[in-house]
Amino acid sequence: MIGKLLCCLMLALLAGATAAAELVVVVSAHSAITTLRAEQVADIFLSEATRFPDGGEVVALDLPIGSPLRDDFYLKVANRTPALMKAYWTKKIFTGRGQPPRELPNSMAVRKLVADNPTLIGYIERSALDASVRPVLVVH
């Protein structure tokens, strides 16, 4: 019985480890930004910062609510669960102090839009990375 339980637990842990995609925060390959700290990225995605560290305008792009990648991103970068993010945006919107980032359906859509505009920033699966965008933070 214990052996069977341990086996199931190990399989569940392995499934969880392979299911989590490595995320990268990206800007256009034409952007002057080469690296950002997690705190800077969190401030941008939480509408606390509207400019890159070099002073240039920045606009964040998000994945859809309920996306495992989105949940993983906010947990690792901003230390917030989906419930905390919902409460955060509800308060920001209600008080007129901000709007959440525009949502796109998947990593490919984020990459394409970011590649075409140096003011945009987004996060994508590392497997979606190509030369059109520059990774500025690897999310672990």
Query: How does pLDDT run across 3-57, given as a tens digit for each residue?
Result: 443 344 344 444 444 356 899 999 999 999 999 999 999 999 999 999 999 999 9
Distance CA 60, CA 33 (A): 14
pLDDT at 20: 63
How does pLDDT run across 85-114, given as a tens digit for each residue? Answer: 999 999 999 999 999 999 999 999 999 999
- Residue with the two structure tokens 């497997």: 127
The three-class DSSP label of residue 77 is: helix
The pair phi, psi for residue 57, each rounded to 5°, is -60, 145
For the whole model, what pTM was predicted?
0.85
21-139: which CATH topology? D-Maltodextrin-Binding Protein; domain 2 (3.40.190)
- pLDDT above 90 as % of the chain: 85
Distance CA 14, CA 140 (A): 17
